[in-house]
Amino acid sequence: MNPLRQLAAQATAFFAAPARATSDDAVALVRAERLAFTFCKVGTTGLLCWLLTPPVVVLLAAVATVALYGRALYLGLTRSRCVLRRPALIAGVWTMVAVADAAWLLAGATR
């Protein structure tokens, strides 16, 4: 199969309608998503108020969001209340925020 067609098929499969989770532990799934969404909101607020909050707050919120959405993914979450909707996409965005914030902090510490 052509690599470009394979990439297009993977992208199409990623954005297709998510399958419903069949997790036996639905209470833990709801709790994990609720906590992850809360830290997503905290991180977003921190990003919007970057000048007023220390970058460490955004880094901690980003790490917590990635960890909690990772747990929710592990438990079977396929859709979130977050604007991005897909837990894997949310975790990826917040991973990039955490890496960029850590680089920002390290660059400032080495001056």
Highest mean pLDDT among 43-47, 81-85, 90-94: 90-94
Separation between Cα atoms, residue 46 and residue 48, nearest integer Å:
5
Tokens 């080495």 belong to residue: 110
pLDDT score at 58: 82
Check pLDDT > 60 for residue 2: yes
CA atoms within 13 A on the CB side of 20: 3
CA-to-CA dists, residue 73 to 53, 68, 79, 86, 96, angstroms = 29, 9, 9, 10, 18
| Per-residue model confidence as pLDDT tens digits over 54-81 | 778 888 888 888 988 888 888 888 888 8
Separation between Cα atoms, residue 62 and residue 96, nearest integer Å:
9
- What pTM was estimated for this model as a whole? 0.61
